[in-house]
Structure 1
Amino acid sequence: MSPTPQHTSSPDLVPVARALISVSDKTGLVDLGKALAARGVEILSTGGSAKALLEAGVPVVEVGAHTGFPEMMDGRVKTLHPRIHGGILARRDLDSHTRAMDEHDIPGIDLVVVNLYPFEATVAQGADFATCIENIDIGGPSLIRGAAKNHDFVAIVTDPSDYAELLAQLDAGDGRTTLAFRRRLAAKAYARTGAYDSAIAAWFAGQLGEEYPHRIGFSGELKQTLRYGENPHQTAAFYTNGETRPGVATAAQLQGKELSYNNLNDTDAAFELVAEFERPAIAIIKHANPCGVAEGTDLHDAYARALACDPVSAFGGIIACNRTLDAATAEEIAKLFAEVVIAPDADEGARRVLAAKKNLRVLLTGAMPDPAAAGLSVKSLSGGYLVQTRDNGRIAAADLKVVTKRVPTAAELADLVFAFRVAKHVKSNAIVYAKGAATVGIGAGQMSRVDSSRIAAWKSADAATAAGLPEPGTRGSVVASDAFFPFADGLIAAAEAGVTAVIQPGGSVRDAEVIAAADERGLAMVFTGMRHFRH
């Protein structure tokens, strides 16, 4: 390990006499170059950046002329030279460094403006292996890390959004930058190279078929600083990871207040749930659990049937649609206090209706997410992370195994598949009663499955009484359980609520007991072989 050189305290104001500019994203490049040149800053540049600046009349010294070596190997080697890195890394307060600069004719570089080859965008476009490899930047990260390390003397700018503040600093400081500014830029620079390396590592692991590599990195870009987290005493922020999956991270907010932490969490849950269905569907979510879900002939029909499941809990909820929102449905939604409406699109009539509800957040995603698509889910624990594949499991009628004497009817079979898809998105232990492709009772998050069965039936009875119906919606319904019934009591509770058919994963040591209970009550029951725990 090399000895640590002794140096004086960090200077505050440092003049910018020479800048190195090498950018892939040329947003604002010409204006920056003109502004720096007007302030007397000498500009070193490379390749396309130099060409763009020269064509705009900005005086530039090409890096090849500065180093005495031309760009070579198809541009792979251009800034990797002691006259560049020495000028960036030299501490101006160390005699040994300044003597080396004088001895080897290395001019100081006070400002580095670099952004990286578009590796993430290249991968997102589906480029082949060789093209992705060529878009791994080598010189750029080296310049960024060197300048960030020596931020006592060098300002490192990696984001065009920082150009304006840089120029404001130079104006306020008579051509100098402050230490506080340089430190903020350095922190941002290391975050950028860290995210870049994480993206490369994740892509490479995928190319090698390593689902869970020895080391894993996660990165994100700040999208929004939130007012608070789940509770007002918690701080929070929303980061995006570059995934293009339609949803809250990619949606355009048409109107309404700023989204909160809970809004974002619940809206994501609602949109992922409603994406499960091919027919027009509505999901109404509260605290990440559905209050009601329904398919219909159109969204208007689906909304009415979803709301009927639990209109009390739907107050202040999230409403998700899997079709373009129309005016008639929007008018019904406007009668309810809702926090967020999310849909792939909304027609002009719907937009006009919802515009009157100024505080209502309206998000448009442009498309629906694919419920069968692969992906990763990450949860933090003290001292680590739990990483798993997204629950993209789906069950069709053809996958079901009938285990009772009675075979479900075609109508029951359709409702069983519907109910199990909803149960996938209900917190465990989950019980979902459904009839006619609409939920009629939902029990979520209980420690006992039989309690979930009873709560769902009780809520269904309350909803029926409030609506003036002669009997609860659970009469003649089907029931879905996200995991097996460990005892017959949960199934018996559902039977007492009036169900005619049951869907569950199976696999309990007491399956025979549960099947016998179903047969005794004339129920049809199918096993999926797939569990959908959700914690």
Structure 2
Amino acid sequence: MPRALLSVTDKTGLSAFAAGLAEVGYELISTGGTLKHLQDAGLPAIGIEQVTGFPEMLDGRVKTLHPKVHGGLLGRTDLPEHAAAMAEHGIEPIDLVCVNLYRFEETAAKGLPEAETVEQIDIGGPSMLRSAAKNYERVAVVTSVDQYDGVLAKLKAGGLSTGDRRDLAAAAFATTASYDAAIAGWFADLPASEDTSEATAADKEPSPFPNRFAPLFLKRGDLPYGENPHQPAAFYTDSSPGPESLAAAEQLHGKGLSYNNLLDLDAARALIREFDAPACAVLKHTNPCGCAEHEDAVAAFERAYAGDPVSAFGSIIAVNRRVNRELAEAICATAGFVESLLAPGFDEDALALLTSKPVWKKNVRLMSLPGLLEPAEIMTDLRRVSGGLLAQHRDEAAVDPSMWECKTERQPTEAERADLIFAQRVVKHLKSNAICYVNDRQLVGAGAGQMSRLDSAKIAAEKAGDRAQGGACGSDAFFPFRDGVDAVAATGVTAIVQPGGSKRDDESVAAANEHGVAMLFTGRRHFRH
């Protein structure tokens, strides 16, 4: 009689799976709560102690760590020496293992005391999975409720093939790898222990990044293609994505998301989170081409879209207020072809209107993210380079005007200060070198991704035209020469916000004074490569 060892935390569907195994002739062995669950269901399961001859001990830390378990999993019955050793020590083969692990990640996410979290580090479970997976030519290893029906169907149809067991083994090793990665990440985030060595102060400076980095992501699904049609692509999510993250968004309508859609949506999500007042952002290729805030959400949308309606074709739109009927009507009346619309939610009548618009009826992706404006923990951005990985904290620091210094003879007016704050919030989301012009909290011109800041200023001026008159300019980094300030002032802008820090800051300040422009230094650069 083949034997199956079942020990699971998630007992969803377990009784039906175990009953199916018993039906095709498996003897059921189990542990702890899993055993009780099976016996309560009337299934003829026996306890692990009847196999090992030892009781569960050390508060359940030791249950399956025994030669009669791992010998039963690892033994190759096709090898005479293995068969002889198993017979000598009374080890019977175990032919199937069904294990899902302690809920470590859920426990760690709750921020419970360290000792309590440590108890959720599964030892026996991963050990059994690895033993069974290593011996996949004989042993089947089941790690997910999603596998139950498929495994049972094949067992009832004549059995699992070697290829089937190999696929199950691959899933098992992926499970233990991701589980260990989560544990390693938790340990890396623990406060540093006291260092009693005679290291220098510099040596003691804590790093926010571990020496060994094992990121954990779960595959959400394959994408139609990557940035271009010849590039395969997939979407992976954090194991526990935050409610404000793109991974938490729900698609309510439209065709499937593409790689570029997801990049644009995340950029739109990051920008719209900058604003407390009703606001709208319009993005193309991750760069804002329109943005506005206003006390009225409809006005915010209309002003954002009017910022650059030509570039808005095929754009991503994000709003930081729930879409009601009035806002939906304004969007339908104004916006042409749009790739996606992101909002904290949609009223039913608004959703019905948006999905009935002819040009949007099948294609436009409506994305609901209720947690859009919720606080977020510090996120780590990862970017691959050949042979390695770059990691940094995401640039999500809030704009703090209280830290700014006015360097010019003229101070900004209250209206100019409001525009400068708005400009700073927008420019940090444009690709470097970045310049933006705003007027009355409306983005009227943006220059991004240029090799020269002067070129960015000129492109933004061309976009803005006369609308820059009396407005404000934001720069993501300092002006290396005064020619940039001269170019900005030529548009009629009356206030500039920039980080400062150039060797020629004095020349830029002098240029601003000559033009009667107020200029503030933030002390913080916002490069976006």
TM-score, normalised via structure 2 length: 0.94
Instruction: Name the residue aligned to 1:467.
Output: none
Instruction: Name the residue aligned to 2:257.
Output: 259
Instruction: Name the residue aligned to 1:226.
Output: 223
C-alpha separation in 2, matches of 1:350 and 1:336: 17
Tell me, what secondary structure is at the counterpart of 1:473? helix
For residues 135-154 of structure 1, the aligned pairs below 5 Å read 135-154=120-139
CA contact (8 A) 1:372 1:393 kept: no
C-alpha separation in 1, matches of 2:311 and 2:426: 17
C-alpha separation in 2, matches of 1:136 and 1:127: 13
CA contact (8 A) 2:242 2:376 kept: no
The Cα of 1:152 is off from its aligned counterpart by 1.1
Instruction: Name the residue aligned to 1:26.
Output: 11
CA contact (8 A) 1:372 1:394 kept: no
C-alpha separation in 2, matches of 1:183 and 1:124: 33
Instruction: Name the residue aligned to 1:469.
Output: none
Tell me, what secondary structure is at the counterpart of 1:177? coil
CA contact (8 A) 1:397 1:414 kept: no
C-alpha separation in 2, matches of 1:500 and 1:182: 70
For residues 36-75 of structure 1, the aligned pairs below 5 Å read 36-75=21-60
The Cα of 1:321 is off from its aligned counterpart by 1.2
Tell me, what secondary structure is at the counterpart of 1:249? helix
For residues 428-467 of structure 1, the aligned pairs below 5 Å read 428-461=432-465
The amino acid of 1:496's aligned partner reads: A
C-alpha separation in 2, matches of 1:373 and 1:493: 39
The Cα of 1:488 is off from its aligned counterpart by 1.1
The amino acid of 1:328's aligned partner reads: E
Tell me, what secondary structure is at the counterpart of 2:468? coil
Instruction: Name the residue aligned to 1:211.
Output: 208
- Give the alignment partner of residue 508 of structure 2, picking from 499, 507, 514: 514
Q: Deviations over 1:347-373 (max 9, x none)?
A: 122111122223211111111255774
Ranges in structure 1 where 5+ consecutive residues have no aligned partner: 1-15, 462-471
Instruction: Name the residue aligned to 2:312.
Output: 314
Instruction: Name the residue aligned to 1:391.
Output: 395
C-alpha separation in 2, matches of 1:244 and 1:395: 22
Q: Deviations over 1:290-320 (max 9, x none)?
A: 1111111222111001011100111111111
The Cα of 1:332 is off from its aligned counterpart by 2.5
- Give the alignment partner of residue 499 of structure 1, picking from 473, 493, 508: 493
- How many pairs are equivalent? 508
- Give the alignment partner of residue 159 of structure 1, picking from 134, 144, 156: 144
The amino acid of 1:164's aligned partner reads: D
Query: Which of 523-532 and 21-30 deviates more?
Result: 21-30
CA contact (8 A) 2:244 2:376 kept: no
The Cα of 1:379 is off from its aligned counterpart by 0.3
Q: Deviations over 1:235-260 (max 9, x none)?
A: 00000112224232111111111100
The amino acid of 1:303's aligned partner reads: F
- Give the alignment partner of residue 272 of structure 1, picking from 267, 270, 274: 270
C-alpha separation in 2, matches of 1:509 and 1:390: 27
Instruction: Name the residue aligned to 1:305.
Output: 303
C-alpha separation in 1, matches of 2:266 and 2:136: 40
For residues 321-332 of structure 1, the aligned pairs below 5 Å read 321-332=319-330
CA contact (8 A) 1:272 1:369 kept: no
Cα pair distance change 1:101/1:21, threshold 3 Å: same
Cα pair distance change 1:476/1:371, threshold 3 Å: farther
The amino acid of 1:355's aligned partner reads: T
CA contact (8 A) 2:401 2:522 kept: no
In the alignment, structure 1 residue 420 sits paired with structure 2 residue 424: yes
Ranges in structure 2 where 5+ consecutive residues have no aligned partner: 193-206
Tell me, what secondary structure is at the counterpart of 2:467? coil
C-alpha separation in 1, matches of 2:15 and 2:281: 49
Q: Deviations over 1:86-134 (max 9, x none)?
A: 0001112211111111111111111111111111111122222122111
Cα pair distance change 1:393/1:490, threshold 3 Å: same
TM-score, normalised via structure 1 length: 0.93
Q: After TM superposition, what 4+ stretches of structure 1 lie above 6 angstroms from structure 2?
A: none
In the alignment, structure 1 residue 337 sits paired with structure 2 residue 337: yes
- Give the alignment partner of residue 91 of structure 2, picking from 106, 128, 151: 106
The amino acid of 2:79's aligned partner reads: L
C-alpha separation in 1, matches of 2:102 and 2:405: 52
The amino acid of 2:402's aligned partner reads: A
- CA-atom RMSD, angstroms? 1.3
Instruction: Name the residue aligned to 1:116.
Output: 101
CA contact (8 A) 1:434 1:440 kept: yes
Cα pair distance change 1:446/1:480, threshold 3 Å: same
Instruction: Name the residue aligned to 2:170.
Output: 187
The amino acid of 1:452's aligned partner reads: S
Cα pair distance change 1:240/1:369, threshold 3 Å: farther
Query: Which of 236-245 and 451-460 deviates more?
Result: 236-245
- Give the alignment partner of residue 365 of structure 1, picking from 359, 364, 369: 369
